[in-house]
């Protein structure tokens, strides 16, 4: 375990892919795969923060996922509600600040109310940040930040030549540091609109397992792979 103590990525993002295939392979409804994925989350999140990661972004639902059939979307909303209710006190007790990234429309009222409650009640958490990307699109996030900045310029609260990389960061859904390491399960090699601005120098890792099978051991293997990478941020090779 000694190797895990050094060079821990500060901000990790996970694209929790393959729930549907996990279920289909077992002759189950796709929603059962999401349920199994959610079951896996608590121990995994706990383990990731114990490893020293300070910010964890989870891709819970993309804006594009709303094109799926309404039964699957509705089952997912119910699953979010169930998990928010079940895990909320644990997150608060653990001093984890929960934030959400994404557009509010067309999320259900009960889901929005639950998200607002969790945000409010965990806002003083100072151990780590759990960023749940729900109804999220990286392109929309940049569009929404641009609109906020344009508005400031129009109202003469910001000069055009004052806009820099940090200004954009500041007006994204959450003012979080760049993402260091992105893991996408299920063997697909795509970024799918996840943290586009924040991922400029992220390292990527694509384990073959479906998300419900991405356990602590799998995360440790991912971390060991990260620790072998030589991050140069555009500079010279050492």
Query: Contact residues for ligand FPP (CB under 6 A)?
Result: 16-21, 34, 37-38, 41, 58, 60-61, 65, 79-80, 83, 132, 211
Candidates 208, 222, 217; CA nearest to 21 is 208
Phi, psi of 104 (to 5 degrees): -75, -40
Q: CB of 202 within 8 A of CB of 13? A: yes
Min dist. Cβ of residue 218 to ligand FPP (A): 15
The sheet carrying 203-205 orders its strands as 96-101, 128-136, 55-62, 11-15, 181-184, 203-205
Min dist. Cβ of residue 202 to ligand FPP (A): 19
d(CA 16, CA 105): 22
Helix and strand numbers (H, E) in the chain are 7, 6
Is 126 a residue of the active site? Answer: no
Q: Which of 7, 65, 213, 220 does the annotation list as catalytic?
A: 65
Instruction: Name the closest residue to ligand FPP (Cβ).
Output: 20
Is 17 a residue of the active site? Answer: yes
Q: Which of 17, 19, 75, 83 does the annotation list as catalytic?
A: 17
Give the residue with the Cβ less far from ligand FPP, 7 or 114. Answer: 114
Min dist. Cβ of residue 199 to ligand FPP (A): 18
Which residue numbers are catalytic?
Answer: 17, 65
């Amino acid at each position: 375990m000694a190797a895990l103590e050094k060079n821990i990525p500060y901000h990790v993002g996970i694209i929790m892919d393959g729930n549907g295939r996990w279920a289909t392979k077992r002759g189950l409804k796709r929603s059962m795969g999401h349920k199994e994925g959610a079951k896996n989350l608590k121990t995994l999140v706990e383990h990731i923060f114990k490893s020293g990661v300070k910010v964890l972004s989870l891709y819970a639902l993309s804006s594009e996922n709303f094109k799926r059939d309404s039964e699957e979307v509705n089952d997912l909303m119910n699953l979010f509600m169930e998990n928010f209710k079940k895990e909320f006190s644990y997150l608060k007790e653990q001093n984890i600040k929960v934030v959400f990234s994404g557009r509010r429309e067309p999320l259900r009222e009960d889901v929005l109310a639950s998200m607002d409650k969790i945000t409010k009640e965990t806002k003083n958490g100072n151990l780590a940040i759990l960023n749940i990307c729900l109804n999220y699109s990286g392109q929309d996030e940049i569009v929404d930040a641009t609109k906020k900045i344009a508005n400031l310029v129009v109202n003469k609260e910001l000069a055009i030549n004052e806009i820099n990389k940090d200004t954009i960061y500041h007006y994204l859904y959450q003012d979080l540091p760049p993402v260091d390491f992105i893991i996408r399960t299920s063997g697909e090699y795509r970024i799918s609109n996840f943290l586009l601005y924040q991922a400029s120098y992220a390292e990527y890792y694509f384990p073959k397992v479906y998300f419900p099978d991405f356990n602590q051991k799998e995360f440790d293997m991912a971390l060991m792979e990260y620790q072998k990478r030589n991050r140069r941020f555009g500079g010279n090779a050492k």
